[in-house]
Amino acid sequence: MADFVKIFKQYKKDGWAGAHLMYFEELDSTNLEAVRQSAQSAHGTVIVAESQTAGRGRRGRSWVSPAGENLYFSLLLKPEFVPEQAAMLTLVMALATARAIQTVSGCACQIKWPNDIVLHGKKVCGILTEMQVAGGRISHVVIGVGVNANQMVFDTENLRHASSIQKETGRAVEREALLVVLLSEFEKAYEEFCRSGSLETLRQEYESLLVNRGREVRILEPKGAWQGLAMGINEKGELLVQRADGTLEAVYAGEVSVRGLWDYV
Ligand code: BTN
How sure is the predictor about 155, in pLDDT bands with cuts at 50, 70 and 90?
confident
- Taking the CA of residue 246 as centre, how many other CA atoms within 13 Å lie in the half-sphere pointing to its CB? 0
Pocket test for ligand 1, best of 33, 128, 142 (most atoms within 8 A of CB): 128
Work out the mean pLDDT of the chain and round it to a whole number: 94
Quote the ligand 1 centre to 174 CA distance (angstroms). 20
Bridge pairing between strands 137-147 and 216-221: unpaired
Omega of the bond leading into 79 within 30 degrees of 0 (cis): no
Quote the ligand 1 centre to 247 CA distance (angstroms). 34
What does the pLDDT read at residue 1? 57
Quote the ligand 1 centre to 144 CA distance (angstroms). 5
**Using one digit for the tens of pLDDT, what is the confidence trace for 194-218?**
999 999 999 999 999 999 999 999 9
> Between 265 and 57, where is the model more confident?
57
Kindly tell me if the per-residue pLDDT of 264 is higher than 80: no
How sure is the predictor about 254, in pLDDT bands with cuts at 50, 70 and 90?
confident
What does the pLDDT read at residue 187? 98
Over residues 86-111, the mean pLDDT reads: 96
Cross-sheet strand order for the sheet of 216-221: 248-251, 239-242, 224-233, 216-221, 257-260
147: which strand partners?
Answer: 71, 125
Contact residues for 135 (Cβ-Cβ < 8 A; gap 6+):
none
Residues with CB under 6 A from ligand 1: 29-31, 52, 55-58, 61, 63, 72-74, 116, 126-128, 144-146
For the chain, percent of residues with pLDDT exceeding 90: 86
